Amino acid sequence: MDFAEAYAAAAARWPAGTCQLDVPTSWGRTHVLAAGPAGAAPIVALHGGGATATAWADVARELAGPFRVFAPDQPGSPGRSTSSRPFRTTADQTAWLAELVGGLDVGPVHLLGHSAGAHLALSAALAGRPGAASLSLLDPTACFAGFSPRYLVHAVPHLVRPTPARVRRFFAWETRGRALDPAWLELAVRGSTEFDATPIVPTRRPPRAQLARVTTPTLVLVAGRSRAHDPSRVARSARSLLPDATVGVLPAATHHTVPLLDAGEIAAAVRDHVVRSSPPPR
């Protein structure tokens, strides 16, 4: 099985009727998985670092009835997008996201992000590009707290010199033994070991004063057993910095079980948040 076959196997877990789009941007052609009724309220789901759009399969199955779910493969990451120039800053990534949303031509979107995808969603809202109707941030990194040094020690070997065994060992450690979907895990291993590494975009926590200006309705879901950072600190900081946000905890989740496992709980919280954040129909 090569990467393309592994991607197809992982993408096949998306709901029936899923289509695959290619959206041109100045950063490259962006491949998007899309599910749900045309014209329904749009959710754009942003994967974490090194992941792909396929990670949202179970969440998409839950959300693709009342919503139209779009999940892009970020250019420069493993996936089916192409990259014409590398991202060097968070501003580059928010510019790409604005172009992507403009290319989808669906109006204001609800941004849903995991890990670095959550950081991108928050950064886009802070930059006002694109205008987001709401934010749903799943175990966000570099938003409200820093990484755990122990997590970084475990992550570095599989990032610097990845091998299938190292990648699998890292996921088994961080997920505390919870079994990930085999098709997704196979794709993640191949993405880590068969793609050339691209420059890591430096991510910094937004200043407190900048976060105080957030007016976009925001949901923060923290993985209660995350090894990426201190979950309690993330939750406390989110409540302090975004007093109007809804902050919840996924008790059984770790950083890398999100959004693959506990999809029903995740989707229910996102669904309620999006509905509350949507204007009433005229």
Per domain, the residue ranges of the chain are 11-147+202-277
60's CB contacts (< 8 A; 6+ apart) are 14, 15, 18, 33, 35, 36, 45, 69, 71
Q: Cite the beta strand spans of 97-146 per DSSP E.
A: 109-114, 132-138
Q: How far is residue 62's CA from residue 57's CA, in Å, rounded to a whole number?
A: 9
Could you tell me whether strands 67-72 and 28-35 are parallel, antiparallel, or unpaired per DSSP bridges? antiparallel
Q: Which pLDDT score is estimated for 122?
A: 97
Could you read off the pLDDT of 121-140 as tens digits, one per residue? 999 999 987 879 999 999 99
62's CB contacts (< 8 A; 6+ apart) are 263, 264, 266, 267, 268, 271
Q: Which pLDDT score is estimated for 195?
A: 85
177's CB contacts (< 8 A; 6+ apart) are none
Q: Which pLDDT score is estimated for 197?
A: 67
Could you read off the pLDDT of 240-258 as tens digits, one per residue? 999 999 999 999 999 999 9
104's CB contacts (< 8 A; 6+ apart) are 21, 23, 32, 42, 44, 70
The yes/no answer on whether domain 11-147+202-277 falls in CATH 3.30.2350.10 is no
Could you read off the pLDDT of 142-186 as tens digits, one per residue? 999 999 999 999 998 888 889 999 999 999 999 999 999 999 999
Mean pLDDT (whole number) for 16-40:
96
Residue 129 token pair: 């590009």
Q: What percent of the chain has pLDDT over 70?
A: 98
